[in-house]
Amino acid sequence: MPAAARKTPARPNPARELVFGSLWEYDPAPETADPRLKRRYDLFINGRFVPPRKGRYLPSINPATEARLAEIAQADASDVDAACKAAHKAFTQVWSRMPGQERGKYLYRIARLLQDHARELAVAETLDGGKPIKESRDFDVPMAAAHFFYHAGWADKLEHLASGRSLAPHGVVGQVIPWNFPLLMLAWKIAPALAAGNCVVLKPAETTSITALKFGEICQEAGLPDGVVNIVSGAGETGAAVVRHPLVSKVAFTGSTEVGRLILRSLADTEKKLTLELGGKAANIVFEDAPLDQAVEGVVNGIFFNQGHVCCAGSRLLVQEGVADEVFARLKRRIAVLRVGDPLDKNTDLGAIHSAEQLDKINELVKSGVEEGAVKHDNGCRLPAKGWFFRPTLFTGVSMSHRIAREEIFGPVLSILTFRTLEEAVEKANNTRYGLSAGVWTDKGSRILKMSTLLKAGVVWANTYHKFDPTSPFGGFKESGFGREGGKQGLLDYLKVA
Ligand code: NAI
Ligand code: MG
């Protein structure tokens, strides 16, 4: 009997039974590539791995098993100072003097090396952060390489970015990134910075530094001149030391609105340039004439991709009244077959919640949703005994005043609201302190154009969701931040334009 046809009672899921009438299951399909983890990771400063001066290390945990994966160096202000000095020296003596064509070759080399190490990086990313292997393998790592390829092409063509203007790099750029797309956010930050001729000091998130430090190894393998890229791992204080350092002339941050605000305040008395990519509470808007099968897939991808740990997640579904019941019924059927579990399994749809703190935050907001009167529906699946997991969850009966309709949950939880007219949809979609992204599902091209001008969001996807491309600028309005990443606009944020 083929293995796939075997009945396994291991993961009973009452909702699946509703759909299929029985409990047929997949066999395990674990990814087996070697992530080549070291026991301990040091700081990457001036082209070399060096221990932190105070000798402090933090554990990095696998959120799916709660097991310790490695120890990560914690940089203090003196380590950050050494990294900024190395970056400044590399900028003045090597990188700013190098022709763009030569800089481009290094970016190409890095892109190719990311491809060469793709499986190792994907497994390391999944182990450290909890995201499903199919996402790290098919999205995070290839997109990271794509950002280096794209920006490699720009390195010798910068004068075409703004004709008639003179462009110059800022010098040393300080970058702080979050844990939801560790390697991809690194690529979004480092590729344009280097293409524009800057040198970099980057601080990865304290819970997901492994692939950033592996990236240091890739810089060595590419023969990148010492000091052009420096990686200083550590927690919030390390990030604060990076952004405040006097040699840093431009800061790029992705993370929470709270920390974005702190950084904005701390730089208010300086000349430093700043871009911020913060949270979101995107509306995914489904009109009555939308192709519903496609829309439901888009809504599912919009909220459950990366367990909902996505700043542009479509966390509010606005569905037109005439199709609301139908869309809800289809969504329920769809979430019944989502597989939650081992992130390394190739058939897993939702991996582990990134941390115990994030799980607490999701639980707290979900509890508030129930207490405020919304109705919770989850797929009832059994969750692994170890690690941090959360079932894909839908809320109906949500009103705009509920916390689950206003606050970023950053988890696999969708709030469903309805509307009657286009005007009401726009009003509800824009009634948020954020403005990062939105989705529109309709058969009508003219309506798409109208919605994309009326919605106050940096990105509006039409009949698709979470579509990314290095050529396309990404960024927000209002409390979602300012500045763009990707495309010409993103590159210009790494240049002084005179
Ligand atoms: P966070 O904003 O604290 O962390 C992001 C990065 O900033 C990390 O590298 C962190 O070490 C660093 N950082 C923290 N304090 C800093 C400071 N004072 N100066 C400079 N850097 C500092 O985000 P956290 O606590 O991990 O997540 C909290 C919430 O933020 C999440 O529940 C989610 O709602 C939101 N978030 C949004 C993200 C986005 O992409 N928009 C990404 C991560 C979290
Ligand atoms: Mg970890």
**Listed range (24-28, 51-55, 306-310, 312-316) with the worst mean pLDDT:** 24-28
Question: What does the pLDDT look like over 263-321, one tens digit per residue?
Answer: 999 999 999 999 999 999 999 999 999 999 999 999 999 999 999 999 999 999 999 99
pLDDT for position 143: 98
Domains and CATH numbers, the chain: 40-278+477-497 (3.40.605.10), 283-462 (3.40.309.10)
Model confidence at 6, in pLDDT bands (50, 70, 90)?
very low
Q: Which ligand is nearest to the CA of 63?
A: 2
Closest C-alpha residue for ligand 1 atom 28: 256
Say yes or no to pLDDT of 7 above 60.
no
Question: pTM for this one?
Answer: 0.95
Measured distance CA(366)–CA(395) in Å, rounded: 9
Measured distance CA(11)–CA(9) in Å, rounded: 6
Q: What is the distance in A from the centroid of ligand 1 to the CA of 166?
A: 35
> For residue 480, which atom of ligand 1 is closest to its CA?
41
**Residue 243 CB–ligand 1 contact under 6 Å:** yes
Contact of 180 with 311, CB cutoff 8 Å:
yes
Q: What is the distance in A from the centroid of ligand 2 to the CA of 375?
A: 33
Ligand 1 pocket check: which of 60, 61, 176 to mutate, most ligand atoms within 8 Å of Cβ?
176
**Residue 475 CB–ligand 1 contact under 6 Å:** no
Virtual CA dihedral for 439, 446, 398, 305, nearest 10 degrees?
A: -10
**Residue 278 CB–ligand 1 contact under 6 Å:** yes
Closest C-alpha residue for ligand 1 atom 9: 205
SS3 of residue 108 by DSSP? helix
Measured distance CA(372)–CA(369) in Å, rounded: 5
Q: What is the distance in A from the centroid of ligand 1 to the CA of 290?
A: 36
Measured distance CA(176)–CA(254) in Å, rounded: 6
Question: What does the pLDDT look like over 462-495, one tens digit per residue?
Answer: 999 999 999 999 999 999 999 999 999 999 999 9
**Residue 206 CB–ligand 1 contact under 6 Å:** yes
Backbone angles phi, psi at 223, to 5 degrees: 70, 25
Model confidence at 23, in pLDDT bands (50, 70, 90)?
low
From start to end of 162-213, where are the E strands? Answer: 167-169, 172-176, 199-203
Q: What is the distance in A from the centroid of ligand 2 to the CA of 228?
A: 26
Q: How far is CA 267 from CA 5, 42, 242, 417, 493, in A?
A: 61, 29, 12, 39, 17
DSSP string, 119-165: HHHHHHHHHHH---HHHIIIIIHHHHHHHHHHHHHHTT-GGGSSTTS
Backbone angles phi, psi at 416, to 5 degrees: -105, 125
Ligand 1 pocket check: which of 175, 183, 203, 256 to mutate, most ligand atoms within 8 Å of Cβ?
256
Helix (H) or strand (E) holding 296: helix 292-304
Query: What are all long-range contacts of 93-100, with beta carbons under 8 Å and residues at least 24 apart?
Result: 94/225, 94/227, 94/228, 95/194, 95/197, 95/198, 95/199, 95/225, 95/228, 96/169, 96/171, 96/197, 99/156, 100/155, 100/156, 100/157, 100/158, 100/197
How high does pLDDT run on average in the chain?
95
Contact of 418 with 319, CB cutoff 8 Å:
yes
Model confidence at 14, in pLDDT bands (50, 70, 90)?
low
Q: Which ligand is nearest to the CA of 64?
A: 2
Q: What is the distance in A from the centroid of ligand 1 to the CA of 47?
A: 27
Q: What is the distance in A from the centroid of ligand 2 to the CA of 280?
A: 23
Q: What is the distance in A from the centroid of ligand 1 to the CA of 334?
A: 31
Q: Which ligand is nearest to the CA of 411?
A: 1
**Residue 267 CB–ligand 1 contact under 6 Å:** no
Contact of 189 with 253, CB cutoff 8 Å:
no
Measured distance CA(102)–CA(369) in Å, rounded: 55
Quote the tokens at residue 368: 């508030």
Question: What residue type is 303 in one-letter code?
Answer: I
Question: What does the pLDDT look like over 233-245, one tens digit per residue?
Answer: 999 999 999 999 9
Query: Which of 334, 311, 479 is CA-nearest to residue 409?
Result: 311
The 3 state secondary structure assigned to 378-431 is: ECCCCCCCCCCCCCCEEEECCCCCCHHHHCCCCCCEEEEEEECCHHHHHHHHHC
Percent of the chain with pLDDT over 90: 94
Mind telling me the catalytic residues?
277, 311
pLDDT for position 26: 85
Say yes or no to pLDDT of 48 above 90.
yes
Q: Which ligand is nearest to the CA of 66?
A: 2
pLDDT for position 20: 57
Query: Which of 458, 491, 493 is CA-nearest to residue 476?
Result: 458
Model confidence at 25, in pLDDT bands (50, 70, 90)?
confident
Backbone angles phi, psi at 10, to 5 degrees: -65, -35
Ligand 1 pocket check: which of 189, 259, 274, 406 to mutate, most ligand atoms within 8 Å of Cβ?
259
**Residue 431 CB–ligand 1 contact under 6 Å:** no
**Residue 338 CB–ligand 1 contact under 6 Å:** no
Contact of 392 with 335, CB cutoff 8 Å:
yes
Measured distance CA(297)–CA(67) in Å, rounded: 34
The angle formed by the CA atoms of residues 256, 243 and 127, to the nearest 5 degrees, is: 55
Say yes or no to pLDDT of 159 above 50.
yes
**Residue 178 CB–ligand 1 contact under 6 Å:** yes
Backbone angles phi, psi at 191, to 5 degrees: -60, -50
Model confidence at 17, in pLDDT bands (50, 70, 90)?
low
User: Please, what is the angle between helix 292-304 and helix 321-336, to 10°?
Assistant: 60
pLDDT for position 13: 62
pLDDT for position 473: 96
